[in-house]
Amino acid sequence: MKHDHITMKIGNKRNLIELLMASGPRTRASLSRESGLAPSAVTRLIRELMEDGIISVIQFEEKSEPGRKGEVLSLSEKPIAAIFDIGVTKTSLGVAFLNGKVDSVSCFNTPETPQDFFRLAKEKVNIMRTVYDFQMVSFSVPGIVNCEKKEIVLAPNLGWYNVKVDELFNGSFDILADNEANLSMLAEARYAKDLTDVSNAVFVIVREGVGTGVMIAGKVTRGNSFSVGEFGHMVVSIDSEQSCHCGNKGCWELYASIRWANQRYGLLNGNNHIDKFEELLSMAKLGDERAKSILENHAYNVAVGITNIVNGLNPEFVIVGGSLSSAPDWYFTRVNEVVKSRALKMATRDLKIRPTIFTEPSSNLVGAAVYAIERYLDRVINTDH
């Protein structure tokens, strides 16, 4: 009986937090009405959540009639994690707050070796700790991550293999790490209004490589050995002799990454593929016919892979991000047309394909924050008073 009571209490606290996350600051009266919990239960649960520092009073509601003004409650603006979006050439970092706020801090060139990277990351974290009080560090990684062991199993575009992040940080922080597309899917599911009631969706990240985050039945799926979503390495050209760094040939990534488009164009300004692709996008927006034509072909290549994913997984939404976050509308129109014309009709009946809602900070960084918030809440709420 005791166990049931605790489980129910944790569930009720979680419901109140979900209401505050989804609909913004609320009074106790609104929380009671919307959750269906008795006002006395809400008062008791909120008191405990306030004692844990999870919820704070941010203001008093405006009331025209006389009477006691209700306190408006919100998740606390409490720093909980340093967050890193590890890119192949550039890494950005920020601070995640419990109420969902993300402060971008800075950006640096990604060192080549994991040892150099994590040494630098640790220095940055130690500096941030002098300003913000947090215990967690959350990494978005462009590769396969064993998030239980905090191990980067394979990040081919970085050339990193079997990197034990926990060991490189010497256990001084609570470390979280996950694949960037999984995290982007988490971020989009948490904040995009049109995904509120959606259970099945795929997030496609197109940068130097191509990765996807897969949400099935409301959960981001990671698989038996954390490689769910490696659709970048699905073969789309059976006779291709072009080799992929994964060891296979004819992978989708070879045709749908930004490298493909950049190489087609030739000379572009920029020190890395991301900057060069930005240049390509702006030239197309300014009316450069060759840039437009290459992007149209790129949209086709992206759409072919999405067609396969849609046929196999039947998501309601495909969200496209990474370097395509700022692609022009016609790019997405083209992707939509190709997928609708080539995929199974039943799989595209309710399908929507759109760019991510995130630009700055990136979906990867916001996802690293969401992951940390979830972990923090689970730990604090599950520790019963």
Residues that bind Zn ion (CB under 5 A): 233, 244, 246, 248, 251
| Vertex 95 angle, CA 93 and 98, to 5° | 145
Give whichever of 155 and 215 is closer to Zn ion, judged by the CB atom. 155
Shortest Å, Cβ 215 to Zn ion: 23
Q: Is residue 308 exposed (0-12), middle (13-18) or buried (19+ Cβ within 10 Å)?
A: middle
* 62, two tokens: 């405006």
3-state class (DSSP) for residue 194: helix
Cβ-based burial of 162 (10 A; exposed 0-12, middle 13-18, buried ≥19): exposed
Q: Report the residue number, 251 or 261, with the smaller CB distance to Zn ion.
A: 251
- Closest CB 235 distance from Zn ion, rounded Å: 8
Question: Based on CB atoms, which residue is closest to Zn ion, 120 or 246?
Answer: 246
Rounded to whole angstroms, the Cα distance separating 238 from 246 reads 16
Query: Is the Cβ of residue 50 or residue 246 nearer to Zn ion in the bound state?
Result: 246
Shortest distance in whole angstroms from residue 147 CB to Zn ion = 22
- The residue among 252, 231, 228 whose CA lies nearest residue 240 is 252
Give the residue with the Cβ less far from Zn ion, 247 or 287.
247
CB of 27 to Zn ion, least distance (A): 53
CB atoms within 10 A of CB 105: 17
Contact 96, 373 (CB under 8 A): yes
The Cα-based distances of 130 to 51, 84, 125, 222, 369 in angstroms read 25, 18, 9, 35, 20
Q: Residue 142 Cβ, how far from Zn ion at the closest point, in Å? A: 14
Please say which residue, 251 or 369, places its beta carbon nearer to Zn ion: 251
Beta carbon nearer to Zn ion, 141 or 244: 244
Q: Residue 228 to residues 205, 231, 300, 313, 372: CA-CA distances in angstroms?
A: 14, 8, 24, 12, 21
Among all residues, whose Cβ is closest to Zn ion? 244
251 or 324: whose CB is closer to Zn ion?
A: 251
Q: Identify which of residues 251 and 284 has a Cβ nearer to Zn ion in the complex.
A: 251
Classify each residue of 21-57 as buried b or exposed e, where b means 16 or more C-beta atoms within 10 Å of its C-beta. Answer: beeebbbbebbbeebebeeeebeebbeebeeeebbbe
* CB of residue 295 to Zn ion, shortest distance in Å: 23
- To the nearest whole angstrom, how small is the minimum distance from the Cβ of residue 233 to Zn ion? 4
Structure tokens belonging to residue 226: 């954390």
State both tokens at 255: 């045709």
Instruction: Enter the DSSP assignment of 243.
Output: B
DSSP states along 150-175: TEEEEETTTTEEEEEHHHHTTTSSEE
Nearer to Zn ion, 209 or 321 (CB): 209
> What is the biggest distance separating any 2 CA atoms in the chain, rounded to whole angstroms?
78
Q: Least distance from C-beta 210 to Zn ion, angstroms?
A: 9
Q: Output the smallest distance, CB 246 to Zn ion, in A.
A: 3
Dihedral, CA of residue 257, residue 276, residue 263 and residue 352, to nearest 10:
30
Q: In the complex, what is the shortest distance from the CB of residue 110 to Zn ion, in angstroms, rounded to a whole number?
A: 21
